[in-house]
């Protein structure tokens, strides 16, 4: 069975189970709260409809390559997070309305999928709690708005994953929504006691977010940090073998990796993966020809991270279309290094106009279809060209 068929089967299994389980949660929770048959049917239909939209949104975002935190293919992880959130939503009505920690649920569903999917999934969980509690829809809106804000601010993080400012913004919006929708509308005179439960909610949300996001960062964002430190070392055994086989190929890889790393950092791309791809985009020659089969064999043998294998496949395999931003960065770095080395080989003493060489490379690439239908924008292409020009002093090291 082909890889695509396996992925499709995996997606159908996990999402099918998630869809069925979400319906069961809606039915069982309605029975638990003693809801009438009509309300039970309503809750089941609404949760099943929302779950269907969640599945469709997740699938479309994956196809469009719009995930931020490397969630492609992680169906079981997201399905489990969604079902845990639904289960939590069943028991939240036992708490005071001002104490529901829905900010945490929205943010986690967002980082385990993407903004749109997380918003729909969080809304489904929130709707279930509101329906079970028989609460006002002002409660739905206050948690929906604060949850949407949380998803937005946390979706803008890069691989450094610094959560301080997003945490402050999301908690501030949650407090404002609680004050405007619950505390100000409560009967009687305002008192400090009315702010106690919302304050506890903020503290609980803060603690849960810090703990869960730390775990997410360790398990997902920085899972491959040590591996990248290992394979991106110029003295890594594979690169030593490449150097023993061909010093020209080795130094070509070194120069390409340096430029790819610099560009990727400036463009906010996955610099570690781009650097690894630049180091190993010709590593297949250790087994004879630089075919994808040889490169894939080496990647498996040395346990390369999945994102690096994906980028290398796009770069090496002629049947693959270049999609990722990192692959485009390596493509330009490799082409510019190759062009300069070719000209220096013809005349080692030549005074090269590096800016003109870079301009020519970009102009030729723009005339092909390689720059279309991928993740890199024209603004980023212009920024990339500017950065390559700024590195003019480095190109003398290629001599």
- Helix, strand, coil percentages (3-state) for the chain, rounded to 5, are 75, 0, 25
Q: Exposure string (b/e) for 281-295, b if CB count within 10 Å is 16 or more?
A: bbbbebeeeeebebb
Domains of the chain: 3-221 (no CATH), 225-398 (1.10.3210)
Q: Which token pair is 394?
A: 């480095």
Q: What are the DSSP calls for 271-333, one per residue?
A: HHHHHHHHHHTTGGGGGSS--HHHHHHHHHHTT--HHHHHHHHHHH-TTSPP-SHHHHHHHHH
Question: In this predicted model, which residue has the larger pLDDT, 216 or 87?
Answer: 87
Given pLDDT bands bounded at 50, 70 and 90, which one contains residue 1? very low
How far is residue 195's CA from residue 197's CA, in Å, rounded to a whole number?
6
Q: What is the pLDDT of residue 161?
A: 65
Which whole-number Å values give the CA distances from 193 to 51, 171, 189, in the listed order? 38, 20, 11
The pLDDT tens digits of the residues spanning 171-230 come to 999 999 888 876 666 655 666 767 788 888 899 999 999 898 888 777 666 677 778 889
Whether 3 shows a pLDDT value over 60: the answer reads no
Residue 330 has pLDDT above 80, yes or no: yes
**pLDDT attached to residue 114:** 85
Type and span of the H or E element at 20: helix 3-32
How much is the mean pLDDT over the chain? Answer: 87
Mean pLDDT to the nearest integer, 227-254? 93
pLDDT at position 59, please?
87
Q: Give the number of other CB atoms < 10 A from CB of residue 386.
A: 11
Percent of the chain past pLDDT 90, that is, above it, reads 54
pTM: 0.64
pLDDT in tens, 44-53: 999 999 999 9
Report the C-alpha dihedral over residues 391, 258, 254, 339, rounded to 10 degrees: -40
Q: What is the pLDDT of residue 188?
A: 58
Is pLDDT above 70 for 4? no
Examine the pLDDT at 351 and tell me if it is beyond 60: yes
């Amino acid at each position: 069975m082909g890889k695509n068929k396996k992925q499709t089967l995996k997606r159908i299994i996990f999402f099918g189970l998630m869809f069925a389980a979400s319906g069961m949660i809606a039915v069982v929770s309605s029975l638990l709260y003693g809801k009438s048959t009509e309300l039970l049917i309503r809750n089941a239909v609404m949760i099943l409809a929302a779950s269907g939209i969640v599945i469709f949104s997740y699938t479309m975002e994956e196809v469009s390559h719009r995930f931020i935190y490397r969630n492609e293919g992680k169906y079981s992880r997201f399905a489990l997070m969604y079902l845990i959130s639904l289960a939590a939503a069943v028991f939240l009505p036992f708490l005071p309305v001002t104490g529901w920690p829905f900010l945490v649920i929205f943010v986690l569903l967002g980082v385990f999928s993407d903004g749109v999917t997380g918003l729909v999934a969080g809304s489904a969980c929130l709707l279930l709690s509101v329906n079970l509690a028989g609460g006002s829809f002002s409660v739905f809106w206050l948690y929906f708005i604060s949850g949407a804000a949380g998803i937005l601010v946390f979706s803008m993080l890069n691989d450094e994953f610094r959560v301080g400012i997003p945490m402050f913004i999301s908690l501030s919006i949650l407090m404002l929504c609680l004050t405007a929708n619950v505390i100000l509308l409560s009967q009687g005179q305002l008192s400090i006691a009315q702010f106690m439960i919302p304050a506890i909610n903020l503290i609980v949300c803060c603690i849960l977010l810090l703990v869960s996001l730390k775990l997410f960062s360790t398990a997902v964002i920085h899972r491959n940090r040590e591996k990248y430190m290992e394979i991106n070392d110029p003295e890594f055994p594979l690169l030593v073998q490449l150097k023993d086989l061909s010093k020209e190929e080795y130094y070509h890889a070194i120069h390409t990796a340096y430029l790819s790393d610099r560009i990727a950092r400036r463009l906010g791309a996955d610099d570690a993966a781009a650097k690894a791809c630049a180091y190993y985009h010709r590593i297949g020659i250790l087994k004879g020809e630089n075919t994808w089969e040889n490169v894939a064999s080496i990647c498996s043998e040395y346990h390369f991270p999945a994102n690096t294998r994906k980028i290398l496949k796009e770069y090496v395999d002629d049947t693959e279309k270049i999609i990722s931003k990192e692959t485009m960065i390596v493509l330009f770095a490799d082409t510019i290094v190759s062009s300069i080395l070719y000209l220096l080989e013809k005349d080692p003493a030549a005074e090269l106009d590096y800016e003109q060489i870079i301009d020519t490379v970009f102009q030729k690439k723009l005339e092909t279809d390689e720059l279309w239908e991928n993740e890199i924008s024209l603004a980023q292409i212009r920024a990339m060209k500017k950065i390559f020009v700024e590195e003019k002093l480095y190109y003398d090291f290629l001599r």
